[in-house]
Chains A and B, each alone.
Chain A
């Protein structure tokens, strides 16, 4: 009997997919990602809202391509999906020297999915010729350029790579977590700098949607198996995957990962309900119906997670400091005015009415769940809903109803009216706009709503053609990654465009004092390597933003997902966050 069991066990071990091909030093993924140890087999089916434009991570700027490719490619340093902390990925460990300008990476001994060893050459190739190649459409040149000087990459030996920074760079490892490694042996022929007669930009034509799937190799948990144009992408397990669960089983658990391409969100929801798709992201509007069905015994569960990721982007309110009307321009630039307007925003009501209570008070804009950067001081600074205070401040500014017609006049005597612009196709923004309009109308500031398509909103914003706007930008874990928005003088600091010249370079003399300070804080935070000191800089930035309210953050929607009960290891963690990666999910038998 015992012998039979032993034979069975042996057979089982053989049947286990590719266990023999584990690298010598596999990485055990964070136990926090598991509810239970999974079983092998089956396929996980997810939805994708549009076909990827390419399978080249650096050839396109396309979120759908990124979604697929994050299963296939790995960075040197990754973000832990459970905590957001940086953890070793293709680099087993790394060291920063005492000057803060030399970072040495020790690479993991792994193979590409076609069996070729991953080496230091791949890292140098990826960084120098792809990530920092200005002709690659999805490049990250700006993230690896400091004060005009590029980061240099040097191969020390096959397993060791050194990065030489022009100056210390606090967010270096964080930005590196977005730089996925690509194989030199596959992509070298597309690089103009390495081949005579190859045009610059040819790299973008590598790994397009018609490339044979065998040529698209990676180190991630999955590899591409099949692409049916506009319908379906199938990935299969990478036999050389280097991730294992806490019991040493090679991940992923599922045999195949399938993305069904479904453009219409309603159809995606219908397919989820029909059991075709295992897991989807839902909105606050869908939540009540799905929850009801769950309680009535449907074969799926709805998860409400506390916000940790950049999306859904939290909406904010902005006033155009460069609006044509000179008098309004003065008003909008006055801190007191914007503070008065913050008092008119009833965030709790918005959370209740607009989000079905599925939202939280946002940070400014660092999320409360972001332990590394959140500054709790801002909670004391943010102004609660208080119309009396708002009126008081408006009166101090001379915005008073002098002729008794119920409409407040500007100091010049003109009636004070506002035009509030937002995207008509974003339901939450529309609803918030209506609530604000009612509030302001009653306050004696007649407000006109301008609800236009989001593309037009983008244009108005870039052209500075608006008075008041509701917009939304995501909140990344590290503020450095969003300096293009929040640092004055940058491309997306749209409410005060005159801080930027026509070459889109910052103009310091056009910034007010606290904007100058914010500008400096971002510059300081960028080159600081000391974690505590970096946090101090960004703490000060958050306090300034909370007090001076260049933009007023309104709410942050919770992360909502619905997942089939057939899928294991997708759950809510103790801190309220949704956990569930494609390589730890498994199909229950």
Chain B
């Protein structure tokens, strides 16, 4: 097992290098760079643009820029400098990581906690009224874009006299020390992103769980278990669900990068202080090292997520062995 994990970790190194080259190439393929935004600004003279380009090293050939960046990481652990913010990119990402993980983690938790029981219920009560009803809700959840749902929820909240529109806190609690009132205020705000972002994931998970469980429920060992006279509870939870949930565990691993990237448009619409809108701005403005670091971080989480999913799978499914 340990050898397997080590090998997987070792493979991640060349993968990251390849991903970084690809990302950098794509960034360089987009037209313009950080200074493009200033070309239309009458306050900025062409001389100033040339000065900025030279200072940021944007006048150098792309491979050289890439190499300088990689060298910084290898020799000093320095992921570069944000052109816009004039600060090291890892600091900027770190500043925003907290709320991003809280929001994304809470939504993920929300969708899993809601989806798995509903999926199990739907499968075990196939074609009942509640099954149809929940499946229908699921379809709606899959088909409505989350940013739109966010807008609708905000509109409804405003119409019903609520003041919790956008953001995570009311104005007076932003930056205030933690109190019970602040926590309540957070909950008042958090339900909109939870539902808006979480619902589509929830709906997908419900359908997946239901389908998997239905498959498993047909299997012979389930029939055997029932024939042995085991209680329905044991049959479902100990035998069927444990097998049906395997594909979902792989899915969980894939969701790890969503902790930081998540849904950009919805975060903008909901005015969440998360990484999504921040990354979007960096992308639009050609803040290349910020974009690179962010993408690398996201790729790393993806690889890590896959590894964790594989390990979890081995733990939950005795049929899978690595040697």
Contact = CB atoms under 8 A, between A and B. Distances in A.
Interface of A: 45, 50, 53-54, 56, 59-62, 134-135, 137, 139-142, 200-201, 204-205, 208-210, 226, 228-232, 234, 258, 260-264, 266-267, 270-271, 273-276, 455, 458-459, 461-462, 473-474, 481-482, 484-485, 491-492, 504
Contacts of B38: 61
A455 B285 CA distance: 10
Q: How large is the interface on B (under 10, 10 to 19, 20 to 34, 35 or more residues)?
A: 35 or more
The binding surface of chain A is classed by DSSP as loop
A264 B264 CA distance: 12
Contacts of B96: 229-230
Given A263-B277, A267-B269, 16 more contacts: A54-B85, A60-B86, A137-B48, A201-B55, A228-B273, A229-B273, A234-B175, A258-B171, A264-B269, A266-B151, A267-B154, A270-B165, A271-B166, A458-B39, A462-B39, A485-B42
A270 B166 CA distance: 9
B86 A231 contact: no
A139 B48 contact: yes
B170 A231 contact: no
Nearest to B42: A484
B94 to A, nearest CB: 10
Contacts of B32: 455, 459
Q: Which of B55, B85, B174, B270 has the most CB of A within 10 A?
A: B85
19 contacts: A54-B86, A61-B41, A139-B48, A208-B86, A210-B95, A228-B175, A231-B169, A231-B174, A260-B167, A260-B174, A261-B273, A264-B166, A264-B268, A267-B269, A267-B271, A458-B40, A461-B40, A482-B42, A492-B42
B31 A459 contact: yes
A383 B165 CA distance: 48
Contacts of B86: 53-54, 56, 59-60, 204-205, 208
A61 B55 contact: no
B278 A208 contact: no
A276 B42 contact: no
Contacts of A258: 171
A435 B54 CA distance: 44
B269 A229 contact: no
Contacts of A260: 167, 171, 174
Interface in B117-149: none
Interface in B4-21: none
A485 B45 CA distance: 11
B160 to A, nearest CB: 11
Contacts of B162: 274
B46 A491 contact: yes
Interface string B270-281: 110100011001
Q: Which of A54, A201, A263 has the most CB of B within 10 A?
A: A263
B87 A208 contact: yes
Q: Which of A210, A474, A491 has the most CB of B within 10 A?
A: A491
A50 B175 contact: no
B43 interface: yes
B68 interface: no
A210 B91 CA distance: 9
Given A135-B55, A267-B154, A459-B32, A53 B84 contact: yes
B44 interface: yes
B316 interface: no
A281 B281 CA distance: 22
B51 interface: yes
Contacts of A53: 84-86
A209 B41 CA distance: 23
Given A208-B87, A263-B277, A276 B45 contact: no
